[in-house]
């Protein structure tokens, strides 16, 4: 068996590349025909259908809400910033949404997920699209994490924050032959430094939905949107680890996203979901790196090492980690390279199981990043 595998290891990769090269024109023609058919003859009419959007209080989630509103869908906007949701709900109504409900909820709590899904069914009687955009990112080396308490927080938001709403909503989506839309990231297979935990969680999300796609078959559609680097809130450095302090929440969050790559990406997501596309990619040229990852991983590794080289030893200060400073390091936590994390631990925030569409604002976060990490 070992000899057979050795021979196949030598033959299969080049043979597969040759077959793909010869088959590419035919596959491209078939894909083009499918795209034309779905664009002009098979686009889902969202008029008066019901869409639940998590992480809807800014960024990708907000822009997705506006795109569905333009298609006259009924919206259920879920996030932890209720005051911000009020503003977005008014904008969505102005753009054409017949009805907009807002709910303050924490998607890492199953009870909260059951609450907003049940309220959706009680009010509208159906659910057609579930859009998961919640994400929490970071920008520090793995060994710089202040403590291991961050690890389950990042997994809670980035993984369970997608799984719980899907688990609760799936029976209703089966009834309507609905669709799940997921905001993922190209880094689930193309990782870069300083985001190891985030990328690990995104890989788990991607594999979860790829498996679920086989389980639900044609009863529920799944659209996975992957993006490269898109500027949203965390690009602008909202959270830093300050000297002698813990991770802190900065109230600088109202970043204008319209007219930006974020709006373009959101439009692509909604259009792709309504056409029944399994994947939406922005930009699509990132896919070429996947070939290198499979067939020439060392070339990809060497290329990134060259592009990301910082010209010397790392100089991160480790402030707040309880570790000694590296030789020649700086204590300036606001320079590039210092740990970044947006949002406080969801485990420290008391949830409100009480039903409400509009109520007192809660200083909680959800998120909808794209490439750059951003949160609500």
Q: Tell me the catalytic residues.
A: 198
Interatomic CA distance for residues 277 and 157, integer angstroms: 26
Interatomic CA distance for residues 358 and 103, integer angstroms: 7
The greatest distance separating any two alpha carbons of the chain, rounded to the nearest whole angstrom, comes to: 68
Which residue's structure tokens are 């077959």? 19
**Cβ-proximal residues to 371 (8 Å cutoff; 6+ apart), any chain:** 185, 227, 228, 229, 230, 231, 232
192, 310 in Cβ contact below 8 A? no
Closest by CA to 62, choosing from 176, 233, 229, is 233
Closest by CA to 137, choosing from 196, 183, 186, 78, is 196
Interatomic CA distance for residues 183 and 63, integer angstroms: 12
Interatomic CA distance for residues 266 and 255, integer angstroms: 16
């Amino acid at each position: 068996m070992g000899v057979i595998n050795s021979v196949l290891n030598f033959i299969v990769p080049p043979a597969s590349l040759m077959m793909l090269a010869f088959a590419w024109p035919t596959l491209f023609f078939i894909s083009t025909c499918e795209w034309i058919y779905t664009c002009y003859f098979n686009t889902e009419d969202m008029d008066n259908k019901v869409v639940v959007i998590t992480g809807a209080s800014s960024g990708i989630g907000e822009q997705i809400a506006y795109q569905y509103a333009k298609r006259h869908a009924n919206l259920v906007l879920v996030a932890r910033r209720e005051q911000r949701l009020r503003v977005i709900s008014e904008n969505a109504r102005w753009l054409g949404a017949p009805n907009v409900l807002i709910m303050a909820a924490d998607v890492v709590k199953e009870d909260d997920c059951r609450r907003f899904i049940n309220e959706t069914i009680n009010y509208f009687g159906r659910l057609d699209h579930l859009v998961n955009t919640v994400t929490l990112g970071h920008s520090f080396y793995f060994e710089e994490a202040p403590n291991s308490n961050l690890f389950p927080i990042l997994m809670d938001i980035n993984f369970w924050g997608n799984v719980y709403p899907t688990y609760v909503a799936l029976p209703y989506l089966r009834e309507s032959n609905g669709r799940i839309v997921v905001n993922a990231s190209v880094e689930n297979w193309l990782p870069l430094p300083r985001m190891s935990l985030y990328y690990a969680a995104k890989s788990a999300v991607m594999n979860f939905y790829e498996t679920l796609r086989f389980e639900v078959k044609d009863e529920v559609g799944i659209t996975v949107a992957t993006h490269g680097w898109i500027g949203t809130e965390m690009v602008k450095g909202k959270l830093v680890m300050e000297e002698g302090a813990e991770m802190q929440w900065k109230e600088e969050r109202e970043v204008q996203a319209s007219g930006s790559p974020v709006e373009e990406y959101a439009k692509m997501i909604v259009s792709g979901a309504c056409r029944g596309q399994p994947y939406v990619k922005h930009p699509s040229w990132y896919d070429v790196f996947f070939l290198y990852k499979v067939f020439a991983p060392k070339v990809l590794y060497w290329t990134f090492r060259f592009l990301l080289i910082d010209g010397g030893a790392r100089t991160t200060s480790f402030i707040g980690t309880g570790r000694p400073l590296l030789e020649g390091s700086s204590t300036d936590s606001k320079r590039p390279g210092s740990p970044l994390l947006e949002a406080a631990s969801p485990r420290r925030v008391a949830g409100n199981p009480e039903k409400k569409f509009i109520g007192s604002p809660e200083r909680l976060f959800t998120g909808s990043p794209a490439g750059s990490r951003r949160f609500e």
